[in-house]
Amino acid sequence: MALTLNAEQQMLKDNAKEFVRSNAPVSHMRKLRDTKDATGFSSDIYGQMAELGWAGIVIPEEYGGLGLGYLELGLVLEECGRNLVPQPLVSTVLLGAGCLLEGGSDAQKKDILPSVAEGEAVLALAFEESRRFSPYNVKTTADNSGSAYKLNGQKTFVLDGHVAGKLIVSARTSGEERDRDGITLFLVDPKAGGVKIERSTMVDSRNAANITLEGVEVAAGDILGEVGKGADVLDPVLDRATICLTAEMLGLCSQAYDTTVEYLKTRVQFDVLIGTFQALQHRAVDMFCQLELSKSVVLDALSSIDDDREDVAIMASAAKARLTDAARLVTREAIQMHGGIGMTDEHDIGLYMKRSAACELTFGDASYHRDRFATLKGF
């Protein structure tokens, strides 16, 4: 696959840009934040996104989606990233629907995927239990009691956890705390007895929740995939979600970069544009280089999913490590180069750094992915 967009992809990206610009610029996110919106994103805007087909981009046509690729979804997320649009695409489409597509039965897919594609369902994947990305670190237990399972444990950092209509929960049916084997995925009704969901207020104003499960009963029919083989589902799903998140990160740091370069071209000190100072010029060029590499790596990582390449996991780590570093560099430099105004809440640039901080840690930070890259490469 080429590292350039074809005509349709370019059109999708342009349309997404236009949609976001006119419907959900940064002021939209600000308003949700300042009004402490209970949902944390606009259902109305998300409904419109779904009408444009975004929620169903990677869902096959037989389940009501468009059956397009992850590249297309990435392009949309990139544009959302540029304007920090809160939306549940990662939680619902990439993680939730992703698990169903990867491991769900036909009945489960038929039951849930069409409403995802329509933008009606919000899903959340409750898989994290520790303070850093660690998908096999599952202490939550699932005890088999006849035809049902009983879930007990605590999940953290569950994206969109407090608004999801359906949870997918990882729990241990066998093995030790950090074993890859023995993890099972369950479809859980958030209203079921014993489920306690507490929303967290995050630095990027996005949604996350802590979820406690106390003797939650789940029917055997609500197991997603095979018992004990949850990691076989989680791994590819998390790789795809990671890659698509890097597309959002590409958008957010491209915008932070554009805003900053624009500022260098308008702000005057010492009777000249501050962009004439080489100390700043050189660092702007460093950012430019990082962004160019980032673009290529994200595009190739997205394509690796669509082309069903065997190096998706490697590309996921390559992309996440790079984008974590790039987004960190660009958003921190952006504040510094804005001077005092960059420290204000009123200016948008700080919001980019806050979102970046959350993205940097989501699905593993740069060290995690560099380490994983080495492992996957066999050294």
Partner 1 sequence: MSELETFREEVRTWLDENCPPNMRTPKDGSARLPSKPEEVSAWCRTLADRGFTVPTWPKAYSGGDYSKEQAAVIQEEMTRIGTMNPAVSFGTMMLGPVLLEFASHEQKLEHLVPIARGEIRWCQGYSEPGSGSDLASLQTRAVRDGDHFIINGQKIWTTMAHLSDWMFCLVRTDPDAAKHHGISFILFDLKSDGVTVKPIKLISGQSQFCEVFFEDVRALAKNLVGKQNDGWTIAKRLLQYERNMLSGLGGGGRRRGGRRRGQSEGRQRGNSGPSMTAESARRYLGTVDGKLGDLTLRDEIVQADLDQLGFQLTMKRSNEEAKTSGPSAASSMFKLYMSEMGKRRSELMMKVMGYQSLGWEGPGFSQEETGTTRGWLRGKGSSIEGGTSEIQKNVIAKRVLGLPSGD
The SS3 assignment for 155 reads strand
Question: Closest distance between partner 1 and the C-beta of residue 97, in Å?
Answer: 24
Distances in Å between the Cα of 238 and the Cα atoms of 59, 94, 139, 317 are 16, 8, 19, 11
Does 284 interact with partner 1 (rule: CB under 8 A)?
no
82 binds, among ligand FAD, partner 1, none (CB under 5 to 8 A by kind): none
Contacts to ligand FAD by CB under 6 A: 267, 269-270, 274, 277, 279-280, 336-337, 339-340, 343
- Residue 191: exposure state from Cβ atoms within 10 A (0-12, 13-18, ≥19): exposed
Does 323 interact with partner 1 (rule: CB under 8 A)?
no
Question: Closest distance between ligand FAD and the C-beta of residue 78, in Å?
Answer: 27
Does 346 interact with partner 1 (rule: CB under 8 A)?
yes
Closest CA to 348 of 134, 210, 204: 204
344 binds, among partner 1, ligand FAD, none (CB under 5 to 8 A by kind): partner 1
x/- site string to partner 1, residues 86 to 125, per CB under 8 A? ----------------------------------------
Q: Report phi then psi at 252, rounded to 5.
A: -70, -35
x/- site string to partner 1, residues 197 to 216, per CB under 8 A? -x-xxxxxx--x-x------
Question: Closest distance between ligand FAD and the C-beta of residue 62, in Å?
Answer: 54
Does 10 interact with partner 1 (rule: CB under 8 A)?
no
Does 44 interact with partner 1 (rule: CB under 8 A)?
no
**Whats the size of the chain, residue-wise?**
379
Select 270 or 379, whichever has its Cβ closest to ligand FAD: 270
Q: Tokens 């992703």, residue?
A: 98
74 binds, among ligand FAD, partner 1, none (CB under 5 to 8 A by kind): none
Question: Closest distance between ligand FAD and the C-beta of residue 221, in Å?
Answer: 58
The SS3 assignment for 365 reads coil
- The answer to whether residues 317 and 360 touch, using CB atoms and an 8 Å cutoff, is no
Select 202 or 293, whichever has its Cβ closest to partner 1: 202
Per CB under 8 A, which of residues 131..150 are in contact with partner 1?
A: 131-132
Distances in Å between the Cα of 135 and the Cα atoms of 113, 128, 205, 223 are 24, 6, 24, 18
379 binds, among ligand FAD, partner 1, none (CB under 5 to 8 A by kind): none
- The answer to whether residues 127 and 234 touch, using CB atoms and an 8 Å cutoff, is yes
- The answer to whether residues 172 and 142 touch, using CB atoms and an 8 Å cutoff, is yes
335, 363, 369, 373: which one binds partner 1 (CB under 8 A) = 335
Per CB under 8 A, which of residues 263..282 are in contact with partner 1?
A: 268-271, 274, 277, 279-280
Maximum distance among all alpha carbons in the chain? 79
- Residue 239: exposure state from Cβ atoms within 10 A (0-12, 13-18, ≥19): buried
The SS3 assignment for 170 reads strand
DSSP label at residue 307: T
Q: Using CA atoms, how far apart are residues 157 and 143, in angstroms rounded to an integer?
A: 24
* 146 contacts: CB under 8 Å, gap ≥ 6: none
Does 35 interact with partner 1 (rule: CB under 8 A)?
no
357 binds, among partner 1, ligand FAD, none (CB under 5 to 8 A by kind): partner 1
365 binds, among ligand FAD, partner 1, none (CB under 5 to 8 A by kind): partner 1
Question: Closest distance between partner 1 and the C-beta of residue 278, in Å?
Answer: 10
Closest CA to 115 of 97, 140, 134: 97
Binding site for partner 1 (CB under 8 A): 128, 130-132, 156-157, 198, 200-205, 208, 210, 268-271, 274, 277, 279-280, 328, 332, 335-336, 339-340, 342-346, 350, 353-354, 357-358, 361, 365, 367, 370-371
